[in-house]
Structure 1
Amino acid sequence: MSRRRIGQEALILTPDQRGRRSSLNDLAGLIDWAPVESRLEGIHAAARGEPAWPPLALFKAMLIAVWYDLSDVKLAEALDDRASFRRFCGFSAQEPTPERTAFVRLRRELVRQGLDQVLFAAVTAQLRAKAVSVKTGTLIDATIIASASHADGEAAWAGHQRRKAIHGFKAHVSADAETALVEALAVTPGNVHDGRAGGAALPENPGEVYADSAYRGEVFGAALRARGGTPRIVATGMWGRPGDDTLRKLRRWNYAIQRVRCRIEKIFGTWKRSYGLRRMRWRGLAKACLQVHLTAIAYNLKRTANILGRAAA
C-alpha cells in the first residue's frame, strides 16, 4: 500500500504571515498525534491505483471542517488556499492537497472499521491528563440532532411536549463537571428514552452524576451503581406532611443540581451554533456516530486549549 509523502518542502510564509499566529498552531501542539496516527495506520483512503493521502492529515482536515463548519467541497478549497490549514495538516506551501473524494473515502473507512470511538478515546485520554486534576463529578444529558433527510430509515421522530417533533438522532453525552470536557457519548435514534440509553454514555468512576428527571429510572440507576456513581438527579416530587417545608426543600434540592447540570447545555449550544451540528450531514446511524464523535474531539481540543490558556495567563 503506497502513501504520498507530504510536508517535504519548507512552508513559505510572507512577512505578514510570520507575524500572525493562528489558533491552529496551539491546537497542533496540544497532544502527541503519534497514538492517533497509529490507530489510522490500516486506512487506505485513495482511489484504486493512486498513492494514498496520509490518513492523519485527512483526519486533521476533518477536524478543521468541524471548527469552521465546512462541507467537503469547501474544506478542499480552503485547504488548497489557507496557509494555517496547510500547517495544521502537515502540507507544505507548493504541494497539492486532497480533493473532496479523499474525505468521503476516509469517512467510509472510519465507519467500516469502527474507529470513531477509538479515536475519540485516544484524543480525550491525553486531554483529560492535561486539564483534569481532580474528578469532582459528571454532567449527563441528551440532545436531538435533525437527520440529513426524512428518508433516513435509521433515524426516528422525537416528540416533545413544548416543541415541534424532530426526525433525527439523539446524542447522549457525559462531561466532566469541572472542565466541561466530554468524556463519553452514545448516539441512538431520536425516539430512545434518555434514561434507557444514558448508561452507555457514563464514564468509568463518574463520581456525583448531575442529571435531569429523565434519568430517574431503574435502568439508568443500575448502570450508575455499577460504575460506583452517586446520583444527583432532579426530583419531580418529595414526600412530606402538611405544614412541613417540603416544597422549599424540593426547590433547594433541584436548584443545587440545576446550577451544575446546566453547564452541559453550553456544550450542546457550541456544537450546534458553532460546529454545524444542527443537522446531520450524512445518513445512517453509523455516520451519525462518526459526526458526533468528530464534533466531540474538535470541541475537547478547543476546550482544553482554552483551559490551559487561562491557567497560563
Structure 2
Amino acid sequence: MARRQIGQEQLALGAEVERRSGSLDEIAALIDWSEIDRVLAPIYAAPTGEQAWPPLALFKGLLLAVWYDLSDVKLAEALDDRTSFRRFCGFAAHEPTPERTAFVRFRRELVARGLDGVLFETVTRQLDARGMVIKTGTLVDATVIASATSSDAQARWVGHRHRAAVHGDKAHVACDHDGGIVRTVAITPANVNDGRMLGAVLPASPGEVYADLAYASVANERAIHAAGGHSRLPARGIWAAADDTTALACLEAWNWRVGHVRRRIEKIFGTWKRSDGLRRMRWWGLAKAGLQVRLTATAYTLRRAMTLLRGQPA
C-alpha cells in the first residue's frame, strides 16, 4: 500500500516557532534514522492500496511507548496531543496521527519479518561507530519476565529458592562494562539455564567478561577465550587443604570482586521493569516477547547514550 506523506504541513502563518530542545530532540540527533528507515522499507511498500503510516514514524512511536510506559491506546492519545511526541515522530502540528490499531498491525509486521533484532543491531552499530561502546569489558546476566498469561504455551515455569515460581520468559543480556550500553540480547523460555546462553549473547571483542555463578563452567571459559576475551567468572571451589584458610579467603575475595562488578547490570533490569513497562510481557508467544524485550533494550540504549553524551566535556 502507498505511504502517507507526513510533516509537510506549514505552521500557522508560516511563522518559525522557537522551541526549547528536550531529551527527545537529543535522542533524535544521536543516530542516522535513515538507516532505520531502510530496514523498515519492505513494510507497506506496495504502490497501490490505502495509504499507510510511514514505518519509521510508527517505530519511533513504539520507542515512546517504552520510555513513557504507554499502552497502545495511551500512545495514540499522547501522540495526538503532545508537541514533543509529534516532532520526534515527524508529524506536523495539526495533521492526523496513527490510531491504536496502526501500532498493532505494525508490530505484527515486525514479528512476521523478524526485524526486531535487525533494528536493535542497527542502532547499536551506529552507537558503536560513534565510540559510545567502550570495549574494555562485558557484563552478562539474565532476568525472568512474567508472561502476559499463564496460558502462554511458549512460556515456562521457573522456581527460585527465595521467591515464588514465575511463569514467563527470560531475557539474556550482555552490556558494556563501563557505559552500560546493551550490546546483545537473546530471549528464551524462563526455564532455560543462564549458563547455557553465554555463547548466544557474547559479543565480539568482549574484553573482560563478568557473570554470576550460573555461568561458571569450563565450556564458558573456553567460549570467552575463543572470542578473544578474558574470563572473570566466579569460582565454585578451590583445591586446598581443609585447614587452608588463606586459599579459602582468596576464593571469597575473588568472587566478591567479580560480583561487585557484575551486579552493575542489575541496574539495567531494574530500569526496564520499574520505568520501561517490562514488569511482564504484554503479548503471547516467544517471538512477540522477543520484540518487546528488544524494543525495550533499544529504547534504553538510546537513552543511556544520551546520558553519556551529556556527561562528556564540550
Same fold (TM over 0.5): yes
Whichever residue aligns with residue 302 of structure 2, its letter is L
Q: Which residue of 2 is the match for residue 190 of structure 1?
A: 190
Q: Which residue of 1 is the match for residue 266 of structure 2?
A: 265
Structure 2's unaligned 5+ residue stretches are none
- Give 1:11 deviation, angstroms: 4.8
Q: Which residue of 2 is the match for residue 143 of structure 1?
A: 143
Q: Which residue of 2 is the match for residue 69 of structure 1?
A: 69
Q: Deviations over 1:100-143 (max 9, x none)?
A: 11101111110011000100000011112224364211000000
1:110 and 1:116 in contact (8 A); partners too: yes
Change (3 A) 1:27 1:11: farther
CA distance in 1, matches of 2:240, 2:152: 48
Dislocated runs of 4+, deviation >4 Å: none
- Give 1:159 deviation, angstroms: 0.7
Q: Which residue of 1 is the match for residue 214 of structure 2?
A: 214
Secondary structure of the equivalent of 2:311? helix
CA distance in 1, matches of 2:88, 2:175: 27
Q: Calculate the TM-score normalised by the size of structure 1.
A: 0.94
Q: Calculate the TM-score normalised by the size of structure 2.
A: 0.94
- Give 1:197 deviation, angstroms: 1.7
CA distance in 1, matches of 2:71, 2:31: 26
1:45 and 1:55 in contact (8 A); partners too: no
- Give 1:202 deviation, angstroms: 1.0
Whichever residue aligns with residue 161 of structure 1, its letter is R
Q: Deviations over 1:59-79 (max 9, x none)?
A: 000000000000000000000
CA distance in 2, matches of 1:27, 1:259: 31
CA RMSD in angstroms comes to 2.0
For residues 285-300 of structure 1, the aligned pairs below 5 Å read 285-300=286-301
CA distance in 2, matches of 1:187, 1:43: 24
Secondary structure of the equivalent of 1:143? strand
CA distance in 2, matches of 1:272, 1:133: 23
Q: Which residue of 2 is the match for residue 274 of structure 1?
A: 275
Of 139-148 and 236-245, more deviation after overlay is shown by 236-245
Whichever residue aligns with residue 283 of structure 2, its letter is W
For residues 169-248 of structure 1, the aligned pairs below 5 Å read 169-241=169-241, 242-248=243-249
Secondary structure of the equivalent of 1:168? strand
Number of residue pairs matched by the alignment: 310
CA distance in 2, matches of 1:81, 1:253: 54
Percent of aligned positions with the same letter in both sequences? Answer: 60
2:234 and 2:254 in contact (8 A); partners too: yes
Change (3 A) 1:11 1:117: farther
